[in-house]
Amino acid sequence: MKKQFIKVVLSCAIVAGGFSSCKNSSSSKNVSRATGWNINAKEGGFQYNSDFKEQETAPGLTFVEGGTFTRGQVQDDVMHEWNNTPTSQHVQSFYMDETEVTNVMYLEYLDYLKSVYPPEDPKYVHIYTGALPDTLVWRNRLGFNETMTNNYLRHPAYAEYPVVGVSWIQATQFAEWRTDRVNEVMLEREGYLSEEAKYKVINGEAEGGFSTEAYLNRPESVYNGQIDSLQGKMKKDSVSVFAKRSSGIILPEYRLPTETEWEYAAQAQIGSREYNNYRGRKKYPWEGDYTRNGQRVGRGDQLANFKQGKGDYGGIAGWSDDGADITAEVKSYKPNDFGLYDMAGNVAEWVADVYRPIVDDEVSDFNYYRGNVYMKTAIGKDGKVNVIRDSIVYDTLPNGKIVAVNLPGEIKMVPVDEQETFLRTNFSSSDNRGYRDGEPGSTRFYDRFSDDDEDEKNKKKMYDSPVSKVQVDSTGNIIRAYDKSNNRTSLINDEVRVFKGGSWRDRAYWLDPAQRRYLPQYMATDYIGFRCAMSRVGSKSKTKNKTPRGKKAK
């Protein structure tokens, strides 16, 4: 009896010790390991989101776990361009749109711009018109395509079809707008903004809009200084409470994927892994060397929407090869092993990179990207971040189209200068688009302090594509002048961007994820669309059942 009593006492002690241990463990995350001070104390001091688990998957996105892969061509280079020779690259984990951006998604963007920045207002006139897709891309001198010209963008029959006629510039501006709208919802959900805030802006009851960077850097300026009246339940004793980056609520920005990310996501080698290696290399986003389904169910069906041959965009009536003649509704074909749809066919897609035939993996084999232009926030005379109010900056593109460089309420950005670059080894200038691209300036023999004038320096350029000059006269009319120089040697410059993947207009050759083409960033076509990506912050993997590093599996 005595022994039994002792066992009961010991058991209680162990249980109590366990509870005590759990309590100490749970509370230790709010005690600083550096100072022993309390974190998130009611009295004040250091406040931090110690309950953060991992990044939330934002609307429309799918997680892509990063890794090492061989970027570049698998097949013979029949075009003899040698502009994507195989290189070993590592990509950090990121998120990518499950499908291409559709017409209905883009129409929501246009509707917002038209409501918040009505084109009837002279100061806003070019915000909405500059975002409109070019519906005339469907026209063909010897083809009847007026039905698509008039209906493709807005008719509900094409709602879930990929948007086309969008330039690279318009695609990046859509991604910026999407970032702000999603973070606005996140702050509303967590109680930092009221539920009515976004609708008051759309309905004209509140001026200005929401900018993520403006909110993080100067929150009192958001909604044209009216944010106090639009606070949510987090407002305490009439004192406004704002989320910070350390709150863990603000998501990273939506953006175009880099070329390396896009190619990695399209290959989706995750289904070809064997221990720590890949079994061979894939020609297409699916397994096999053919474009037709080899499985029992659906055998013989095409696995993507592309041009089969001359005059064959969809197959014979009643027994279509791919079910589409122009673009197809998204999710019409099976996704790849990452769960991404139409990474081959349907429409080709813009990526973030500036085009160069050289992929310099000797310098960078980690998150390779050509196109970095480093900027910083502009600081006003009052020492505060400069927020743009009514001074909207417009840019007249080489084709004469006018687009807004910024929207009201956004932060003014300026290039980094010597304050950030002095004696650095990792970058020395703001604009790095032409770094080590084969130009004379990339060599050790380049004399940056030569006495040659600008014209002489330009004659030595490798990438000196024609420059069409567009000017606006005093009456607002656009004057167009063509570059008639015979000394141009290239179609490539810093405003030429890469697009990837085959489209409904392309033969199977272009379905290879390694293929790459380029087009000026201000141009649009009927076969190029886009999808957005988002960087992942924190852990590389979302899998919880992996053995922690340095610990033995039980």
Question: How confident is the model over 330-360, as pLDDT tens digits?
Answer: 999 999 999 999 999 999 999 999 999 887 7
Predicted TM-score (pTM) of the model is 0.89
Statement: residue 26 has pLDDT above 50 = no
49 CB-contact burial (10 Å; exposed 0-12 / middle 13-18 / buried 19+): middle
Whether the Cβ atoms of residue 409 and residue 211 lie closer than 8 Å to each other: yes
Report the percentage of the chain scoring pLDDT > 90.
Answer: 47
What pLDDT, in 10s, does the model give residues 263-320? 999 998 775 565 555 655 677 787 767 677 766 666 667 778 888 889 888 887 877 7
501 CB neighbour count, 10 Å cutoff: 30
- Tell me how many helices (H) and strands (E) the chain has: 11, 19
Q: What is the largest CA-CA distance in the chain?
A: 107
More confident site: 548 or 75: 75
Give the DSSP letter string of 33-99.
Answer: TTT-PBSSBTTBS----TT--SPPPPTTEEEE--EEEEES-SS--TT----S--EEEEE--EEEESS
Closest by alpha carbon to 349, among 529, 170, 190? 529
Q: Which residues are bridge partners to 70 per DSSP?
A: 88
CA distance 498 to 517: 6
Alpha helices in 193-302 (DSSP H): 197-202, 212-217, 222-225, 259-267
Whether the Cβ atoms of residue 214 and residue 222 lie closer than 8 Å to each other: yes
* pLDDT given for residue 21 in this prediction: 45
Statement: residue 554 has pLDDT above 50 = no
* pLDDT given for residue 157 in this prediction: 97
Whether the Cβ atoms of residue 168 and residue 350 lie closer than 8 Å to each other: yes
The per-residue pLDDT of the chain, averaged, comes to 84
Closest by alpha carbon to 233, among 272, 200, 188? 188
* pLDDT given for residue 72 in this prediction: 85
Alpha helices in 77-196 (DSSP H): 103-116, 125-131, 146-151, 168-189
* pLDDT given for residue 531 in this prediction: 98
| Torsion sign over Cα 456, 462, 463, 469 | positive
CA distance 37 to 40: 10
What pLDDT, in 10s, does the model give residues 191-249? 999 888 888 888 877 777 899 999 999 998 888 888 888 888 876 666 678 999 999 99
**Segment 81-104 mean pLDDT:** 92
What pLDDT, in 10s, does the model give residues 429-451? 999 998 888 877 666 555 655 66
